[in-house]
Amino acid sequence: MQDMLRDLVDSMMHQTAKKKNWQLYKYYEEWGAPLGMEGNTEPLPYSIRPPRIFVTSYIFIVNEDSLQAWKNWISTVQEPEANAQSSNYSQANQNLQQNNQYQAYIDSATYYSNLSIQYLSQHTSEYASAATSGNAAQLNKMQAQVNAYSRKSNDFINKANTVKNQTYSIAETQYNSKAEEWHQKKMQFRNASILRVKIDFNEVVDQPSASKTIKTIKQLPVSGSSFAILYHNNKTDEHEVFNLNQFYRAPDLAFILFGKWHVNPNDRSDYVTAFSDNSNNYNTKSEKKIMCDKIQSIAVHIEGNPDNMNQFIQSINWQQLNSLITTQ
C-alpha cells in the first residue's frame, strides 16, 4: 500500500513543482507496521490488522531569491548580532565577578553555610543521644540553630541574586528585543520562500496544530473534502518538532480532511475519524470489514504564505486523492 501511495503522492508533488517552477524536497516519511502492537511481536494475520498508517511530508522552495536572502541575512545580520549579544553577557559576567558587593554576599552565604555544616559535625553525638532518648527540647534547640544559619545563608544568597539580576538585566533586555526581531524576520523569510506539505493516511485522529492560539480564518474550496479550513496563528514558535504534527512555526496553515470525520473537534482539539467510533475497526484482535491496506482517511497540512498555499491547492487533483477512500 505504501509503495502505491508513495509513487502517487510523489508524482503529484513533482507535477506541482514543475508546473509552478518550485523546487521540491521530500522531508519525511513514516508508515505503521502490523507488529509490535499491544504486546504483539509477531506479524498479525492480515484479517485483523488495523488500518495501515502512511505519512509523507514535503518542502517546496517557492522563491529561491527569498531563500538566498534568508541565508544572507543569517550570515550578515543575525550571526553578528548574536555574537554581539554574547559579548554583552560576557561583559555582564565580568562586571559581576568584579562587583565587591556581590562577592561579599557570596562570601557571607558561604560562611553561614559552612557554620551550619560545622555545627552539625561537632554535635553529631549530641544529636544522636537526644534522638535516642527522645529529648525533644534538645532536638528543637539544635534544629533552631541550624535553621538560623540557613536563614542567614539564604538571605545573603537572595541579596547576591538581586545584584546578579540587576547586572544582567540590560543584556537580557537587549537579547529579548533582538530575539523577537529575529523571530519576526524568520517568519517573513519562511513565508516568502517555503511551503510545507504533510499528508497522513489512515490516521485515527489528527489536529490542525498543537498551538492553542490558532484562529479560524475561512473555509477553503477543496473538491471532495469533508473539511477544509485556513487558520492563522499570532504566537508562532521556532522550536516546533516537524514530525509531531505541532504546526505552530508558521503563522498561516491549511488543514484539509478527506473521508468520514467528525467535523467538530474533541476536548483535546483533535478531529476524529468516524471509523474509530467502533474499536473493532482499528484494534489488533477483531476481524476487519475493511482491510488494513485500504484508505479510510486522509489529512493534509499545508503551511506557508496564503497565496502560495492557494496556488498549491489549485494545482492538486484532490479528486484523485479522494478516490482512494474506501467505504466498504
Q: What string of H, E and C letters represents the secondary structure of 276-321?
A: HHCHHHCCCCCCCCCCCCCECEEEEEEECCHHHHHHHHHHCCHHHH
| 208 and 153 assigned to the same domain | no
Residues 145 and 234 in one domain: no
pLDDT (tens digit per residue) in 45-104: 888 888 999 999 999 999 999 999 999 999 999 999 999 999 999 999 999 999 999 999
Angle at the Cα of 155 (from 151 to 159), degrees rounded to 5?
170
Instruction: Give every CB contact of residue 99 below 8 A, 6+ residues apart in sequence.
Output: 163, 167
User: Helix or strand or coil: residue 216?
Assistant: strand
Residues 145 and 248 in one domain: no
Domain count, the chain: 2
In angstroms, the Cα distances linking 2 to 224, 239, 280 are: 22, 30, 23
pLDDT band at 213 (very low <50, low <70, confident <90, very high): confident
14 domain-assigned = no
* Burial bucket for residue 225 (CB in 10 Å: 0-12, 13-18, 19+): buried
Mean pLDDT of 108-137: 91
- Condensed to tens digits (0 to 9), the pLDDT of residues 186-204 reads 999 999 999 999 999 999 9
In a domain, 266, yes or no: yes
Q: What is the DSSP string of 126-181?
A: HHHHHHHHT-HHHHHHHHHHHHHHHHHHHHHHHHHHHHHHHHHHHHHHHHHHHHHH
Are residue 179 and residue 231 in the same domain, yes or no? Answer: no
Same domain, 81 and 152: yes
Residues 183 and 245 in one domain: no
- Report the pLDDT value the prediction gives residue 56, as an integer from 0 to 100: 94
Do 208 and 249 have their domain in common? yes
At residue 210 the predicted structure's pLDDT band, cuts being 50, 70 and 90, is confident
Residue 27 lies in a domain: no
Same structural domain for residues 230 and 308?
Answer: yes
CA dihedral in degrees (267, 237, 298, 205; nearest 10)? -30
Domain residue limits at 100: 74-188
Residue 8 lies in a domain: no
| Residue where a domain stops, chosen among 130, 165, 188 | 188
Burial class of residue 220 (count of CB atoms within 10 Å of its CB; 0-12, 13-18, 19+)? middle
Asked which of 188, 218, 244 is the last residue of a domain, the reply is: 188
Averaged pLDDT for residues 269-298: 90
Output phi, psi for 21, to 5 deg: 60, 40
Domain final position from 137, 155, 188: 188
Cβ atoms within 10 Å of 138's Cβ, excluding its own: 16
pLDDT value of position 244? 66
pLDDT range class, residue 28, cuts 50, 70, 90: confident
Phi, psi (deg, nearest 5) at residue 89: -70, -40
pLDDT of residue 109: 96
Is residue 223 domain-shared with residue 257, that is, in the same domain?
yes
Q: Are residues 183 and 214 in the same domain?
A: no
Q: Domain for residue 229, yes or no? A: yes
Is there a single domain that holds both residue 183 and residue 216? no
Mean pLDDT value across residues 162-186: 93
Quick one: 207 and 127 in the same domain? no
Cβ(156)–Cβ(106) below 8 Å: yes
Phi/psi at 299 (nearest 5 deg)? Answer: -125, 135
20 in any annotated domain:
no
Q: Is residue 327 part of a domain?
A: no
Position 7 in a domain: no
